[in-house]
Amino acid sequence: MSNQMTGAEAMVRMLQAHGVRHVFGLAGDTTLPFYDAMLRLDHGITHVVVRDERSATYMADGYARVTGRVGVAEGPSGGGATYILPGLIEASESSYAVLAITTDVSVGTYGKYPLTEVDQDALMRPLTKWNTVIRQAAHIPRMVRSAFRAMTTGRPGAAHLGLPYDIQHDPVDADDIRADPRLQTFPAYRQAPEPGAAEAALDAILSAKNPLIVCGGGVVIAGAMDELDRLASRLDIAVATSISGQGALADTHPDCLGVVGSNGGTNETWEMMESADLVVFMGVRAGSTTTARWEAPGPETRIVHFDADPMVIGANYRTEVGIVGDLRLSLAQLNAELDRREARGFGGAAAVAERKARKFARFRELAASTDRPIRPERVVAALMQVLPPDATLVSDPGTSCPYVSAYYQQQLPGRYFITNRAHGALGYSMSAALGAWFGRPASKTVALMGDGSFGFTVGELETICRCRAPITMIVFSNASFGWIKASQFADKGARYYNVDFDRTDHAAVAAAYGVKSWRVEDPAALEGVLRKAVTHDGPTLVDVVVQPLQDTAAPVRRWMG
């Protein structure tokens, strides 16, 4: 008779076989066998109990972004399954491998109106790259293998496994517990572009007079930063990024222009987007934000597009050359072809330096302001003074995001700035920062959020304290849903409606959870307080009373004029 285990034990062993080291989640009635197996088995997996299933998925997302390993979240049936959704759609659209395991009511009770029944298969299908509810225990190993293969190959994305209560008790053949070790990290099974594609791309680039490379998150996901650096330096070609593409080059690289587009871009960086006669999109979908709703590139601009996903090439622009393949392999081929040719430089560094000089002259003037409430630019400038070069910044998509994207100068290539730009849900950064810290504990991790986002996720302060994570949280307090209020100011003639709420002392709230905290209203005190917060050996929070977005010079294109 073959060696057997229960379905719950098989799920734990399959996660272990795929190299999973951390799982984020919380229990429900349907989770009991799975948790019991996690308790009894020796598997080397750290389980982190969270206070909200949304947070579990965001933690898994942050973990995946800094490690290149699959992030795993779990939750119970019913409401738990619905709460776990937001992080799955964010991970899928941002091309990160996140697995959600939701336990479910027993297969034997489907259709009998049991408590917490919901059609998990239908619920998760549109939001994931791969999805199933397992209906037989014997299928567990095969379904886990399929999920990991889907998440990590091609364009990475999220997967969901439903694990009903009764099959967690049913027998599974232990001989079926196996995994492909290459699927522990992503991208796995990288595919090179077709022969001749790199040569055609280089022909087009070298024929341009004023080319611009625009990088998305795909460059960092593929680990193509060194190959991009080599290409940009050799050709002296300007490199811009989307918000998600920050880290494709270090911001301090001579050819790095910085973020372009409608959020985090500035008029100075946009000049280069408008004046380019050829734009090379690399690992970016050329969506509405990076192109300022397709304002540029214009219809006459030539386009070369590199991406692992063939669906994005030509979707928004007539494309002269499309190169489908892993970004690291594609750029390596491009560089190898460049080595065989004589090529002139394009003068990108000089053009970048001139525009950055103008952009940062204005930034320094605003950052030195002694206005009260404190200008957000002053917060960014202070962070640049107190944070180490390898700090990881995690921002919610609201108030803090455009300022950090526009002005924070990341000194290293790679994923050191994280924000959930695909769907922009509030309440992301505090949880994602904890996941990022578990994935890269040697990096000082900072979570940036508005007070609207703080209200979504405040319960995870307890999780952070329980984990003794030395995360620094900075709340940009303006007592409003600031992004929407600024939009009402710009688009609706300052007719404000239901965007304000009462001011909260976030430092006092954090202190009640056990977080060392400060409240700052005096701009002269800001840098000193931030330095204390960053160097403290436990969780810290700084509540900064900042200027409302509608009163600022936020680097958001439709507000800048």
User: What would the pLDDT profile of 344-363 be if each residue is shown by its tens digit?
Assistant: 899 999 999 999 999 999 99
CA end-to-end span of the chain: 75
Instruction: Using alpha carbons, select from 532, 533, 505, 509 the residue that is nearest to residue 519.
Output: 505
Give me the pLDDT at residue 561, please: 55
Q: Are the folds of 4-184 and 197-351 the same?
A: yes
Give me the pLDDT at residue 376, please: 93
Query: pTM value?
Result: 0.96
Give me the pLDDT at residue 560, please: 66
Class for the domain spanning 368-560: alpha beta
H or E element in which residue 141 lies: helix 140-152
Kindly give the parts of the chain with pLDDT less than 70. 1-2, 560-561
Helix 523-535 vs helix 376-386: crossing angle, to nearest 10: 40
Q: How far apart are CA 25 and CA 50, in angstroms?
A: 6
Architecture of the domain whose range is 4-184: 3-Layer(aba) Sandwich (3.40)
Q: How far apart are CA 272 and CA 93, in angstroms?
A: 27
CA distances from 12 to 16, 29, 36, 219 (A): 6, 18, 10, 33
User: What would the pLDDT profile of 121-173 be if each residue is shown by its tens digit?
Assistant: 999 999 999 999 999 999 999 999 999 999 999 999 999 999 999 999 999 99
Query: What is the fold of 197-351?
Result: Rossmann fold (3.40.50)
Residue type, 488: Q
Give me the pLDDT at residue 1, please: 41
| Domain ranges across the chain | 4-184, 197-351, 368-560
